[in-house]
Chains A and B, each alone.
Chain A
């Protein structure tokens, strides 16, 4: 029976951590922080909102539907899928100077590129130039994996349904049609063009595609997508890349070309224009629409009033709330004693 424990062998360590005494910052939602905070946030948001809205307002957009609904629409005769190819010519007038650089987009609506089975229907290995997957495309490509037991390259629904309308723009200058050059280069992400999609190293490219078939809906095989520029073929065709970057939402627009050849690099002058459309892509069957968009951009991207308005509204609400809170605080702040 020891009178005094000889040592305190079991005594816990005296550290800030074990004794839960770690120094800490203990913030509190006090009036001194919340109310000025709200005012500051509110003012900042209003500022950002104004800037965004002004920017957005300065962006010019010109868009036209060319689905061809209605008898008197110039593309009506093309909306019936049977006679192919079909060309329709769209005359239009721009009332203002569309400041350059101008981007030309095509847009689809009610088109579910984000449908899961659609968006997984591709073979990333194949698209990165892996020849093994030329012979046996991944199962994800189903039902466009094989055609008559021959592998489809590029396989899958996304590639198969590639948008294939083509556009040519002319400016009507004193009744003569002056072509406006579309630049189809540099419309895809750098990473897509250089990393994600790669043609096999085989030269010429077409040899790689031996024993494969083109996607069912395609009029030409992948290595002949751009007859004018041999470098713009295969999986790194720019329009193909743009299409393969599937849209997040069912209404989307995709970049078709940039207008940056003089004299239109400065912008499209006001006047009348004619858009010649090779109308191939059927959308009426699923209730979709097609449109074209001319637009310029700013530092904040394309035209979008929502962001600016949202900032303004929330900023204003913040300021209002801070006033309400101030009143509440002054009137009801809870008794400090007790």
Chain B
């Protein structure tokens, strides 16, 4: 750590290529590569003060006050004592510095913790335990299982066969499925031999440090040979080693140059729209201040010419008699006096309020999720009020709206529907937690987590209904799931898609237990009896086929093809004898789809041996042919998948997170538009759109954009537009009126075109006219682009919510980013501004916390500007009666303490406690959210109103005391119209006025508020009497010249009558206006508040929470959500049972198997219950991945 905290060695020039040699520190030293220590802290004890002050004075308000301070030191200008500026400035600087110091201390602490982790480093031919920060580029280090990767490494060798290592990249990209990295053979042969490793002197040339996690290029030169290096051989800092005994790696990038560190720290500083508005307003205020000062300077010039020059008998001018110069000085003097229009304490108060409101979010028990003990967290404390202004919500689907858990809910077998529960009267019952689940104890292999409620199905199984048996046999056979049996009877499935997992688990529980598979067989336990089916072919799933089939030979020798797939597709291939059954099943599927379930049709076909052998022969030919293999395979599959016999249909529930439909409904009522951006397929996304109430059956139309060329997409957009707005007026309005409700579904490949310049406006226009927008198959980058598009053209506040690494870009792009916490992967949470465990908490975050924060912030700002403007304007009026001499109206102590002591706490109290209606009513009336979106509570207009109101108040505050006092005396004939008494009178009037005004603003008087308000007034009098007391004067005569003023004037009845008159006169018009407005054009808040008042209860009537049940004719296309290519692996490809066979043969394919594996990222962790597989498990079980390790089996 460098002494002065400045960047250590500023890179002399940009590194173009990195060159390093293993085990050779001398060679690597001249390049000055960063060592592995990281430093995220900003200060050290010596640099803290200067650096921090320097940073703070970059803020315009602080710099302005420094400037004022300079002005005040000039005696000709100084119109106020220095302490009026110094006291608030020092206070502000101290508070901010204290906050920065604690932040930095935490950073130091975490830096230290990371830097002092230990790792084994190969030094002087021996492994030595070193601190992380001492590791250098070119070192060889040894990692062990479950250790964090120390730096960006080139993998040299590992304990596993084929030099593979398994890593978890959760910290990098949030994905918890394991990934494979493989070392080069040449380095892999070094093994664990320290001597050999120490002799290794390979040279690496590679790209300079950058932040691309998915790319790496470089070469390794060893023993005269060059080997290419790519991302598959690199271990990045931040990953965790899993399921691997040990591995050795060569350090390529250290500390700040690692890809992890290059990726962080760039987070843009988000500001709220109120912030931006305030910046504009502050500039306006500066302008206005200058304007006032110019007027007063001109006034001074005229006064000097007219009156002042004659008054020199009593007040000779030292600096000559130049009126112009005097005016110039006056200008600056008034800049000092009127500085309170730019309130420095405003910024501090705003921060405090935001902090307070953030704590409320952290503290909210209604946003706490007990299942994984996760409370909500406000990770950014500066954005609260923006939560009350959200117009667009961009949501991820998987993991956010849905739990990524599939459950087998219903099925239709041979024309009979199972899954519903009926009471004795034959009425269908809602399935709740209390409904009696089916007892699966007859089956020792059943998955205890599987829950089913319809006892009829178990009965049917037990009665050995052949169709039911065939149905479950199909489910147990036709899939690509891998089974693992660690202990006898403890099965766990690794499914690539959760749908499949759910189906196989269902079959397992109903007595058809898929137990294990080999490349050419599937073993299942049928009703307790072990059977082995010969697996002859897998006709795998793909997007076009939308079905998968297996051909198996039963132990009895019967050949059968089992097929499951999208209903429409399967129906086309059925034998005509199933006509009747088709009708009934269709009806059932419609019913299932209406409940938002995903359906699959199941069918089989008996094959005869001869036909199959011939087919198999052709299949073999085709699969070894070179031209158009895929097309010809498809044809072949098509051929055999005909004349199927329908068995039935399954219905799988893609489990939504709790309360998602209700939340979306609430958000819709609050006029928040929800866009779903998902990487999922169109069908899945659409289906979820329906089940979570985003798309509705009643919508006039749901447009689909799926064109493959710009022209197509443009045409589709036009069509959509014209059907939404038949009247073809083309005026682009911020929000266009639409004749009906529409939805829009956009496909990923089409989305690319609208995001280009030429079409983005058309797209946005169309999309914003729709009630709901779903974009599927979008890349993370596109997610961010969509968000940015809306931000740019709609000038609306956006919120993005997601849980995975693929949501990070959109979370960062949106005004507010929300991460779903308590799940696998932290990446989304780490880059988010707010995090909580469940999507449904979003409504509380927005409709309660956001709305209150916005309301409070706006009330605060309005009031704050009012009180400061009023305070300042009085000076302006007084200028006309004191020869524009920059005489203050108030005592200097009052000026110093007004913002800090007398009025600070009441307004803080208001902005921390105020609420118009409580949370329950806020939910009851989501329309209360609308004013925030329209910026109604605080805008330039509202600000202008404040200024006018202040103007009125200040006129009253100056001229009433003026008129009442100018020629009067005390009741004993003595003076009371003197300057000091007048100052006391005006400031007391002012304080009463602003306090009463605060009382009017405040709609929620807690005991604390009352204490603050009353306390501040009491404090005022206490401080005033103290400051004006004899003791203070005797101690410091020139600092407290107001001695006795309070005693002599505040005992006069006419003083108090003036105070009363002034305060009432300031407040009455406000009350009148408000009352009349409430009566004549009540706002939504007024209406709801009146309703609450009339209801006379704290809580609203319980809403009729009817379960949302749609009657829908729509049904899902198909339920598979996995990518193709998996079945291939299972049968013909590289399949392996541990332990791994010889190394050499696997090499050529291992690379492919790993690349082809991770397309869907998070589908690996399948769990049929509500608990996602935990990311933090220390010893990760062997995953399916490892079962795919290598080896070509030339079976087919």
Contacts and interface: CB of A to CB of B under 8 A. Distances in A.
A19 interface: yes
Given A302-B968, A307-B1057, A286 B980 contact: no
B977 A285 contact: no
A254 interface: yes
Contacts of B365: 11-12, 14, 18-19
A116 B79 contact: yes
A247 B978 contact: yes
A304 B373 CA distance: 71
Contact of B975 (A3, A161, A189): A189
A111 B308 CA distance: 10
Interface stretch (B34-42, B511-519, B554-562, B1087-1095): B1087-1095
Contacts of B852: 20
Interface stretch (B1-9, B117-125, B1001-1009): B1001-1009
Nearest to A158: B314
B487 to A, nearest CB: 16
Contact of B963 (A8, A31, A306): A306
Contacts of A318: 1068
A215 B1074 CA distance: 59
A307 B1068 CA distance: 17
A81 to B, nearest CB: 9
Nearest to A41: B1064
A91 interface: no
Interface stretch (A138-146, A204-212, A219-227): A138-146
Contacts of A252: 966-967, 977
Nearest to A284: B310
Interface in A252-300: 252-255, 258, 282, 285-287, 295, 297-300
B1018 interface: no
Contacts of B113: none
Contact of A12 (B316, B363, B887): B363
B1034 interface: yes
A189 B969 CA distance: 12
B368 A12 contact: yes
Given A112-B883, A297-B972, A314-B1064, A10 B1005 contact: no
Contact of B965 (A12, A28, A248): A248
A18 B973 contact: no
B745 to A, nearest CB: 35
Given A18-B363, A301-B970, A114 B882 contact: yes
Interface stretch (B129-137, B153-161, B526-534, B1171-1179): B1171-1179
A329 B1090 CA distance: 14
B1174 A1 contact: yes
A258 to B, nearest CB: 7
Contacts of B1061: 307, 310-311, 314
Interface in B851-902: 852, 881-883, 885-887
Given A12-B375, A301-B976, A314-B1061, A23 B1006 contact: yes
Contact of B964 (A142, A160, A304, A325): A304
A191 B967 contact: no
A119 B885 CA distance: 10
B587 interface: no
Interface string B1074-1097: 111011101000110111011000
Contact of B316 (A10, A101, A116, A143): A143
A112 B1079 contact: no
B1093 A28 contact: yes
Nearest to B1003: A26
A110 to B, nearest CB: 7
A192 interface: yes
A92 to B, nearest CB: 20
A123 B1038 CA distance: 7
B1054 interface: yes
B1006 A24 contact: yes
Interface in B930-980: 960, 962-980
B976 to A, nearest CB: 7
B975 A242 contact: yes
B363 A301 contact: no
A316 interface: no
B314 A8 contact: no
Contact of B971 (A26, A248, A301): A301
Contacts of A19: 363-366
A175 interface: no
Interface string A231-261: 0000000000010011111111111001000
Contact of A119 (B977, B979, B1090): B979
A285 B309 CA distance: 10
A13 B363 CA distance: 7
A102 to B, nearest CB: 9
A115 interface: yes
Given A12-B362, A115-B885, A1 B973 contact: no
A72 B1173 CA distance: 110
A124 B1048 contact: no
Interface in A12-42: 12-14, 18-31, 34, 38, 41
Contact of A328 (B1052, B1080, B1082): B1080
A24 to B, nearest CB: 4
B307 A286 contact: yes
A28 B1079 CA distance: 13
B1065 interface: yes
B672 to A, nearest CB: 22
A249 B975 CA distance: 13
B968 A191 contact: no
Interface in B1012-1048: 1030, 1033-1034, 1037-1038, 1041, 1043-1044, 1047-1048
A299 B365 CA distance: 61
Given A10-B375, A196-B1033, A258 B311 contact: no
Nearest to A4: B371
B318 interface: yes
Contacts of B333: 116
Interface in B288-335: 307, 310-311, 313-316, 318, 333
Given A130-B1037, A247-B978, A48 B1057 contact: yes
B360 interface: yes
Nearest to B362: A12
B919 interface: yes
Nearest to B849: A20
A90 interface: no
A118 B314 contact: yes
A237 to B, nearest CB: 15
A143 B318 contact: yes
Nearest to A196: B1043
A115 B885 CA distance: 6
A119 B981 CA distance: 14
A298 B1052 CA distance: 11
A185 interface: no
Nearest to B311: A286
Contacts of B1004: 24, 26
B75 interface: yes
B882 A333 contact: no
Interface in A26-69: 26-31, 34, 38, 41, 45, 48, 52
**10 residue pairs, one from A and one from B, having the closest CB atoms:** A191-B1044, A248-B982, A18-B363, A286-B310, A161-B314, A103-B973, A116-B885, A302-B969, A116-B887, A25-B1005
Given A26-B1005, A115-B883, A311-B1057, 19 more contacts: A10-B375, A13-B363, A18-B365, A19-B365, A30-B1090, A116-B887, A118-B315, A119-B887, A161-B315, A190-B1048, A195-B1033, A196-B1037, A255-B969, A285-B310, A286-B311, A297-B973, A301-B1052, A306-B964, A332-B1080
30 contacts: A5-B370, A10-B368, A10-B374, A10-B375, A11-B370, A11-B373, A12-B368, A12-B375, A13-B363, A18-B363, A18-B364, A18-B365, A29-B1071, A103-B973, A114-B883, A189-B975, A195-B1043, A248-B966, A251-B967, A253-B969, A282-B313, A286-B314, A297-B971, A298-B971, A300-B1054, A301-B976, A302-B967, A302-B968, A307-B964, A325-B1079
